[in-house]
Amino acid sequence: MNLGIQNKVMIVTGGSKGIGEGITRRVAEEGAIPVIASRAKETGESLVEELKEKGKEAYFIEAELSSKEKCRYVVDKTLKKYGRIDALINNAGVNDGVGLESGSPEKFLESLNKNLYHYYYLAHFSLDALKKSRGSIVNISSKTAVTGQGNTSGYAASKGAQLALTREWAVELLPYGIRVNAVIPAEVMTPLYERWINTFKDPEEKLKEITQNIPLGHRMTTKEEIASMVVYLVSEQASHITGQFLFVDGGYVHLDRALAGLK
């Protein structure tokens, strides 16, 4: 299937690690140009060099995305380099464990600043370019937005707001042909997830307990599977899909937990 995204310019936030890295690689594999916006300079530049060695173009912009000014900087630098933006893939964030009991009003606001505000900032500053390209936006959310998790009010609130903004922007941007969708992962093995698993007394047993509750294959979703959905959504093949929440989770959120016992 030809996705029709060759040479298109796509900003991928947090694009050097975890799910973002998977998205960056998939975008490049399909012949588009990923612009990695991240504060992780070493991994970002290393990924760009690796892709270039494979004949793929990529570009890294070092930026702390909790800063409104840095978000504007990412957009301006992308436009200076390439003169266009065809897709914005909002992905950067961290499940920081700011809960109702364990947190504070100050930490809650900090969590929103780390996980939510830059989704709006980047969309706002990219809007003129996206209008010109009739591009698209994909917001990476989380199952915590619809299931809750416990002890993560800031992150869950941010992820829920991202879903609300997905629908809101899909409506507002209809006149410009800009499509807006959200991808919702559940259990995906990333460096951050691995770090969390390793906080348990028996990480292997905890991981087994989690995967037993994933109906399809009793395994974690891979970052490549998330990336494939994202790249499809920004492609011409998804030209009539907007305002949708796509769960890529092996049935984790919606299928009956009784299925955990099936092989």
Answer yes or no: 59 catalytic.
no
Question: Cα separation of 93 and 96, whole Å?
Answer: 9
Question: Cα separation of 252 and 214, whole Å?
Answer: 5
Give residue for tokens 């009793």.
218
Please give the order of strands across the beta sheet that includes 87-90.
59-62, 33-38, 9-13, 87-90, 136-140, 179-185, 245-248
Cβ-proximal residues to 38 (8 Å cutoff; 6+ apart), any chain: 13, 14, 15, 16, 17, 20, 44, 60, 61, 62, 63, 65, 92
Give residue for tokens 């301006």.
76
Among residues 59, 117, 155, 232, which one is catalytic?
A: 155
Q: What angle do CA 159, 248, 184 make, to 5 degrees?
A: 10
Q: Catalytic amino acids?
A: 155
